Structure 1
Amino acid sequence: MPHAASPEVESSWPGAKLFVNDGPLEASEVAPLKKSYPSEPIEELRKRYNEDGYIFMKGLIPREDVLKARESYFKGLAPSGVLKPGTKPVEGIFDDAKDRLNYPGIGAGAASGNGRPGGESAEVFVDLALKQHTEPWYCEEFSKHPALYDFISKLTGWGNDTLSLKRTLLRNNTPGNKAIGVHYDQIFLRYGEPTSVTAWVPMGDVSVQGGGLIYMEDGHNVGQRIENEFTEKAKENGLTEEEAKYAFNRNMMSTGFLAEGPAGFGREHGARWLLTDYEAGDAVLHQPHSIHASTINHDPQNKIRVGTDLRFVNSARPYDKRWTNYFQFNDGV
């Protein structure tokens, strides 16, 4: 199949130069994500998820399905001129003759909330990137992949109550552009219980220098502690528990991030960032308070990083109904 002809990941880990929004990450500030496999007992995987705040699943989704989706994505973006002439859509190679600022990623560099990134010169690219969220190949097929859905229903024990939320974030990151800031997902799922599961699925191979997600070590406990401390201070100042919950969000940066820069944030909390090479078919499942960000894409082959955030909830329990609509800019989430 032509879409399966993607080169293997060329791992430069360890020893790679890694950059985030506020500068380089030193070797002592990073460590590898722990690998898990679908063949392991579900009880062991559940234990690991609860203890670490994430599980990095190797080969959870068939590789050929991911590469087929990647090919569809870049065929949709090709009219913007983002791809290097003479390359295949599945490769997703950025045309470095173009100005990268005209090809901004959704959710990374918007000035406030989930606003529209870029100016008039980026309009065609941004419109095409947004359109992919509602294309049948994505919203009816890939985002509902049975391998992922079935695994999460077993991991959580939700069974048939497992609900895949319609609102997802299908993000690209062209080389050299701004990376995703420091955050945890409960900030954006505030109207529901903190029990959702996020699956970050890299759509294609992502080298360790290619802008993949990075996770703060013990970040689920750090995130919970940050929220608890703020809530206690708010209640001491006369706010009810419900008022304190929403006051926390108003206290965030306008983007909803805890910080723009992972390097300084990690040093402040004395924690390392966990990272890895990702391969098509991998997925990272993480808890709603797990702190994460991404590196700046400096892929040696100039690949565009594509990944999607797919979120799952227990439909028998209260969840954030704002996530039952497809993603739109400035939709208030």
Structure 2
Amino acid sequence: MLTSNGYVLDEERLGVLQVVPEPERSERDVLRARLMRDGYLYLTGLLDAAVVEQFREYYFRLTGAATDRASYRKVLFEEIVPGPEYAAFCAQPALKDWFEWFLGGEPFLHRRKIIRQTAPGENGIGTATQAHYDLVYLREGSDQVLSAWIPLGDCPVSRGGLAYLEGSHHRVLADEAAGRLKRPAASMTADLPALATEYDANWLVANYAAGDVVIHTAHTIHAALDNVSTEMRLSTDIRYQRADDAVDARWQHHWHDRDGL
């Protein structure tokens, strides 16, 4: 049984996130067409799993000494987020070079990069990332910005990985173009089952492994599942775009959970 913010997902509204086949991964035009069709690219093993695990160990080495919420926040927002280790991880050649190749130009990495941690058993409204699409938070720049969701360590479904609403970007694109979805910078809903019914679509899930990356468009609706495992769920989401496209200036500061975005 899968849940998100305590809501039980309907098994008849579940599907599997499709991995990009190996023969397609070197075909840029094919990948671009696939991204337009599906709204995401699930790239298994894009990163060196050892590099991912090293960063996970670094993160928990620093946060493990935090004895309360205030101490944890201090370490996270004053040491890890602005630190050179995180910057290097997010701009490692396996990521930056891939985006340069895929975008066909100089890539630009937004400084605001987010790390999300969910402990086993955490649930209830506001625990897991609620359903949203990224454009509502990035309206002052290009709508061609791409997000990379990276599990920091293995993240099976039970650990609370990301779920994508199948084909949702097509409706969002149409509604945005028609001016029907000028939403504020806020999540759509925590009720994933109701949203699946409204869109007549399935939530796509996967058992992610260290080294996997999912690239998604700014119009693709996604959300997180609850962590019902016995291990900590850790992930980061970062955003790349072409450097010569309009950039949302609000995203050029280090992330803080009270930054208003």
Q: SS of 1:176's equivalent?
A: coil
Alignment pair present for 1:181 and 2:130: yes
Partner residue of 1:332? 260
Alignment pair present for 1:209 and 2:154: no
C-alpha change, 1:212 and 1:47, in structure 2 (3 Å) is: same
Percent identity, aligned pairs only? 30
- With the length of structure 2 as denominator, give the TM-score of the two structures: 0.91
Alignment pair present for 1:24 and 2:12: no
1:265 to 179, 195, 213: 195
Task: Answer whether contact 2:6 2:226 (CA < 8 A) is retained.
Answer: no
> Unaligned stretches of 5+ in structure 2?
none
Q: Which amino acid aligns with 1:31?
A: G
Measure, in 1, the Cα distance between the counterparts of 2:247 and 2:21: 29
Measure, in 2, the Cα distance between the counterparts of 1:22 and 1:269: 20
**Displaced runs of 4 or more, over 6 A:** none
Alignment pair present for 1:36 and 2:38: no
CA displacement at 1:151 relative to structure 2: 1.0
Alignment pair present for 1:148 and 2:95: yes
Task: Answer whether contact 2:147 2:240 (CA < 8 A) is retained.
Answer: yes
Moved more, 185-194 or 123-132: 123-132
> After superposition, where does 1:52-71 map in structure 2 within 5 Å?
52-71=38-57
Partner residue of 1:172? 117
Measure, in 2, the Cα distance between the counterparts of 1:38 and 1:280: 18
Task: Answer whether contact 2:63 2:72 (CA < 8 A) is retained.
Answer: yes
Which is greater in Rg? Answer: 1
2:206 to 276, 281, 284: 276
C-alpha change, 1:232 and 1:32, in structure 2 (3 Å) is: closer
Partner residue of 2:235? 307
Q: Which structure is richer in relative contact order (CA contacts within 8 A, separation 6 or more)?
A: 2
CA displacement at 1:201 relative to structure 2: 0.5
Q: Which amino acid aligns with 2:199?
A: H
- With the length of structure 1 as denominator, give the TM-score of the two structures: 0.72
Q: Which amino acid aligns with 1:171?
A: R
Q: SS of 1:134's equivalent?
A: coil
Task: Answer whether contact 1:38 1:58 (CA < 8 A) is retained.
Answer: no
CA displacement at 1:226 relative to structure 2: 4.0
Measure, in 2, the Cα distance between the counterparts of 1:311 and 1:148: 11
Task: Answer whether contact 1:201 1:308 (CA < 8 A) is retained.
Answer: yes
Task: Answer whether contact 1:216 1:266 (CA < 8 A) is retained.
Answer: yes
Q: SS of 2:81's equivalent?
A: helix
Partner residue of 1:118? none
